[in-house]
Structure 1
Amino acid sequence: MNSPGDPRDPRITATPLIYRLADSTVLIGVKQTERGPEPLFTAVSGEPCAVAYTEPDEIREVLPDDYHLYQIPVVELLAQLPPVCGLLINPKAASPLYVAAEERDAVIAAGAPFPAGAFIRIKASAENPARLLPAVLARVADVHALRRLYCTRYQVADAREKILMVYDTGGAADGPAPDAVADQDRAVNDAIMEAAAETSLPDPMQIIALDDLPEEFRRLVLTDVEPCYVRADLRA
């Protein structure tokens, strides 16, 4: 990630900037074409690049009449671009942010919930978001597959700190078919996201299955974070 025109190392260095970028959302202009939706493009050193902005007023100044304004996570935008395309953010800024085509995979990987090689901090105690938690508990009680639910906070490098919801449905260990596991995951995620929408949750949030946590963090959650929900038949 560099300023346009600077020499570029084809292997991106995993600096804190990459995690902030991967955790961010941008504004893009999109028009409908015969080939499907197409964002605004420009070129940097001969490389085609999608153009994005972080300020609504700035993109509205340059948005052609036949383009519509959309908000999209950076990693989602990068994943949808053709392989030869980069991304230019805030082209009118003194130092625009430039993601070359060969850097895209590194940024997308940095957007994973627990990216490899990143410094990750998890709060070693339970979190109790005042409005969110009651709304979550009212909904997950109807998801019988859910055994336990943990709520804490975590942060990847210096990206935004997030509420972390970790759910335990037993996963594949109990032997349900993959489709059944997917249905269980979807039911838990839907219940939590509906609660977040209902309470207009201002904080970013990550939802993840206990089995999908890296081992060291799974041990921390099980040892230090008291569950906010335990299914009735599992309560002591």
Structure 2
Amino acid sequence: MERGGGGGDEMMMTSGATGRIVPVFRSVLSRRALLRVAVALHSLFLWLLLLARGLRRHRAGTGADASASEAGAGAGTWSARRWRLRLQAAEEEDVRRRRALAEEVPMEEDRGTRWATFLVTGARRNALFCRLWAPAVDEMRGILVIIHGLNEHSGRYVHFAEQLTACGFGVYAMDWIGHGGSDGLHGYVPSLDYVIEDIEVLVDRILMENPGVPCFLLGHSTGGAVVLKRNGAKTLAK
């Protein structure tokens, strides 16, 4: 490009890119553009700050929820434990009441009969309420163990036992688990096998205390099914 001026000719070389770039930098570095950048950075900073605070609150809330859950679980465990203790106390009170009633059952109508009540520790460390009738003078010709039926108790067999003792037989009777004066939830028997196992404990004691005396089992109603099941198991075991 030639340009005239002064006393002579002067040539100036300019770049086409320079003419385009310089205005761009000028527009970028203008006060208005810098203000926009500052506002954008400030907004980004505030957004990051809010995000960080939200994360902290979330973590704190999660920890509080976990603590609350643990506290709730602990409270639930304690409530369940208290409920079990209450049920256990109620069951024990019911057993004491039933045992007191069992002791009040008249055992003697004939002076020729001696009698007794006693407790036997069952197969599951449970107390079993038992009765004994025996001839007052003569030796026993044999022993009959009475197994009562469901929702019954050994005190219902007093008259029958005295008839047997008059014939020279001794009579034992045991209250099932949960029946009469025995331990357990009133009227509840988890399995007839429990009754069979308790019978074995009583029979072993009877045989040990009366060596050489014949011993028989008599089951009434469901007690008959228990005796049959017990004897069937003994036969299969042989």
TM-score range, shorter chain: under 0.3
TM-score norm. by structure 2 comes to 0.24
More helix by share: 2
Which structure ranks higher in relative contact order (CA pairs < 8 Å, sequence separation ≥ 6)?
1
More strand by share: 1
* Bigger Rg, which one: 2
TM-score norm. by structure 1 comes to 0.24
